[in-house]
Structure formats: structure tokens, C-alpha cells
Amino acid sequence: MLLSKPDFKFFKQKSETIDLSPQIIEGRKRLLKEPVEPVDLGRVKSIGDLVDAWKSGGIQSRSLAECAIVYENMLTDKDRPTIFLGLSGALIAGGLRKVISTLVRKGLVDAIVSTGAILYQDYYTALGYRHYKGTPNADDEKLHDLYIDRIYDAYVDEVGFVECDDRISEFCSNLKPKRYSTREFLFKLGLTLNDKDSILYSASKAGIPIFCPAIADSSIGIGLAGYYRWANDNKVRTFTIDTLKDNVEIAQIVLASKKTAAIYVGGGVPKNYINDAAVMLDYTKGHAYAFQITADAPHWGGLTGSTLDEAKSWGKVSKAATRATVYAEATIALPLIVGYVLQKCLAKNRSRVRYSWGEGTLTMRHKNA
């Protein structure tokens, strides 16, 4: 049986409706200029190569590469922006402790705002305790009976946590009875450690300030509560943690900086605190650079998923800011971005910040690496 000849008249009519006027041709040229290039794994020999390839890719791979580009601009800007790093989420349980302490040691960040949980688990690890591979499908009631705590697919030793709480309480008993910002408290706590992979230890040795505005909402807070109870029972004069002192100190850093930049790993209190620092004493500047790694979405209305454009409306991110967002899980995205800047040696000539803190005063100097 012979098939009839196909009739393409319908499609011809469709093509005749396309109007390629000079204006449309010009518009098409502007937009159809950079093709998406497939990743050639045969040419990828390093993290830097992979991120470079993603610059011509799509979806979240390109978004991650854009974050890496923003970080590169932060580190190479001749005005030497002060870089704030916000940390939230289960980053220590997820294996990022050395990545973060490397950022400190290599001079890739200048100040940190963190949740108390991250700092506590860093302290726990510095004392010789470990996180262990587990499963999110564990029998949690059985874990409780065994004094094992679960953080998604990792286990931690509750007996070790109790011992860490006691160590923090003991540390507190040796502090002078005065007002401390969380920066001052954490600096002193970091000096009690001896672990180059520790975030607290590395920051204290490098003089990099760590702020923890929600310190009470953590196991560090549990250790502090144990100390306060002991002091009350024994009628011992106590020191106080003054988080409003933190506000003044972080605002002083912003005011003393020609430019500021922000890296948000997750969201929550650290993200908001770094944003607030930009407008606490000066509403006009905003962060000149910002990138964020988040697994949340903006349409829920929460801070963690909020866009950096939204932050412009508050003056927290500059109108002219170089910015990017990657929607990804931090244990995947952060090592790739940090690996990129390390392999490119982008901080090789970047000066280090030296902070001189007085009572209500701050002097910032820069020293060549």
C-alpha cells in the first residue's frame, strides 16, 4: 500500500507567522549570544576546572559558579572588603569543619557569625569526640536508651556532650566577673583548645572574631546554665554574656570597613545578624558583595530562603551589589566554592585584618599575608 505524501502546509503556515523585524533580530542577537556548553569531563582535572566549566552550564551548576565568581570578586577587590561568614545548619555533622577552619587560617574570611550548635560541636570534636555515620531511619527510641543523639544521618555521643557541658561550666568558673560579648567569650574559649582544625581555635589564634547572638539556644548555653546554677548555689559572683555588646562590636567592624561582603551558609540568626550589621549604625551602604547557599525557597516568606534582592529593600545589601544564590545543600556546595578559590590562589596577596579592641572602641589594621 502506498502512503500518501505528507502535507506540511500547516507547518509552513506557522513559519510564515514569524515576524523577524529588525527590532526582533536585534533583540534575538542580544539574548542568543552565549550558548550553554556541555561539561567535558575529559578536561576536568580539578575542582577549579569543574566550576569553570559550570560557568557556561545551566541551572544550579551555573548558580554555584556565579557564587564562586562573587567570592573571587570579594577576594580580589582592591578596596579589600571585610568578609562576614554566616554559618547555620548541621555543618560539623556534615563534615565541613576543616573546610570552615581553612577559610579562617587562609584569610578567606574576616569575621564569623554562627549558631551555637556549630561552635559547640566544633568544641566537642576538639576535645577528641567524634561524629559517627548513622542512618536517618534509625530507631530513635533505642538511640535514646543508648545515650546516642542523632543529627539526620550522623550519631553523636550524649555522654561526650555531658562531659563537654561540664568542661564549659568549669571554664566559665575561671572567668572574671564582668560583661563579655559573645566574641570575647568565644575568643577565650578557643584559646583553651589545641586543634588546628578547630574553628574556635583557628579563629582565636588568627584574631578573627566569632559572634554567636543566640548562644543561649545551644549546648554552650546548657554549659553556661550549669555554671550559673553552681554560682547561685555557692553565692559566687558571676560574669554575664551581653549580646547587646555584640551589636556594638559588629557595627564597629562595618563602620571601620571601606566595603563589606557577606557569605551566607544557610540562614537563620547568622544571616539576619550579618544583614542587620549593615544597617545598625549606617543605613546608606549595605554589603557590596553577597552570595548565599540555601536549600530553602523564597515563596515561604522565611528569612533563610529570602532573596538577596529582598535585602536591598532594607538597605542591607547595596543596590549595586555583586550577588548570587545557589539553591543547594551546603555540604556539597561549600567545599566546591572554597576549593575553587583555594585552587585559584585568590587570597595569595590579600592582607589580613588585625583587630584592636578597647572598651567600646575598635581599630582595624591590615597586614600583608
Q: List, by residue number, the catalytic residues.
A: 316
Instruction: Indicate the burial class of 96 (C-beta count within 10 angstroms; 0-12, 13-18, 19 or more).
Output: buried
Neighbours of 4 (CB within 10 A): 5
With H, G, I as helix, E, B as strand and everything else as coil, classify residue 230.
helix
Structure-block grid coordinates of residue 270: 547568622
Name the residue among 26, 67, 42 with its Cα closest to residue 289.
67
Residue 139 makes CB contacts below 8 A (sequence gap 6+) with: none
DSSP per position, 16-55:
HT----HHHHHHHHHHS-S------GGG--SHHHHHHHHT
Q: 109, 209 in Cβ contact below 8 A?
A: no
With H, G, I as helix, E, B as strand and everything else as coil, classify residue 188.
helix
Residue 314 makes CB contacts below 8 A (sequence gap 6+) with: 275, 279
Q: Which residues pair with 362 in a beta bridge?
A: 357
Neighbours of 217 (CB within 10 A): 14
Alpha-carbon span 208 to 110, nearest angstrom: 6
The phi and psi torsions of 252 (rounded to 5 degrees) equal -65, -35
Instruction: Indicate the burial class of 149 (C-beta count within 10 angstroms; 0-12, 13-18, 19 or more).
Output: middle
Name the residue among 314, 316, 249 with its Cα closest to residue 278.
316
